[in-house]
Amino acid sequence: MKKYFLTFIALFFVSFLATAQSTETTKSPSKVTAVVFHADWCPYCTKLSDKIESIKADIDISDVEFIRFDFTDKDTKEATQAFAAANSVMSVLENHKGTGFLVLIDSETKEELVKIGAKDSKEKIKASFEKYLN
């Protein structure tokens, strides 16, 4: 009888923990992913990064998932290739060459939405984010 009682208690706690975990509030998945084409040696990358940081004061982009494709050296290029293949974003990598820009994609479908470059104005960058975040 003691064995059955302990089994019952164990099942109760397992059930309770599963229910507690399923009712926790979690952050909803991002609708938009920003794939940043970056290299440490790229002056346009710094310029784009500064513009992205400056629009954070105007709009909330905390729901945007940022992925960085790093082309700084051979090792980071290889890591980028592996990451892109493992995360269903290889087409984005294959469709674009260079650094100093980002591509906004639909997080679910991986469809490319817009390409934003370091030469784009802060207003254009802000408008692109706003368009796809709403």
Query: How do residues 56-96 score in pLDDT, each as one tens digit?
Result: 989 999 999 999 999 999 999 999 999 999 999 999 999 99
**Token representation of residue 126:** 């802000």
Find all residues with CB under 8 Å of 68, minimum gap 6, and list them. 36, 38
Q: Determine whether 128 is exposed, middle or buried from the number of CB atoms within 10 Å of its CB (0-12, 13-18, 19+).
A: buried
Residue 102 one-letter amino acid? L
User: Could you identify the residue written with the tokens 């909330």?
Assistant: 60
Q: Determine whether 129 is exposed, middle or buried from the number of CB atoms within 10 Å of its CB (0-12, 13-18, 19+).
A: buried
Q: Are 122 and 54 in contact (CB under 8 A)?
A: yes
pLDDT at 134: 76
Separation CA 68–CA 66 (nearest Å): 7
Kindly report the backbone phi and psi dihedral angles of residue 30, in degrees, each rounded to the nearest multiple of 5, phi listed first.
-65, 140
- What percent of the chain shows pLDDT beyond 70? 78
**pLDDT range class, residue 29, cuts 50, 70, 90:** low
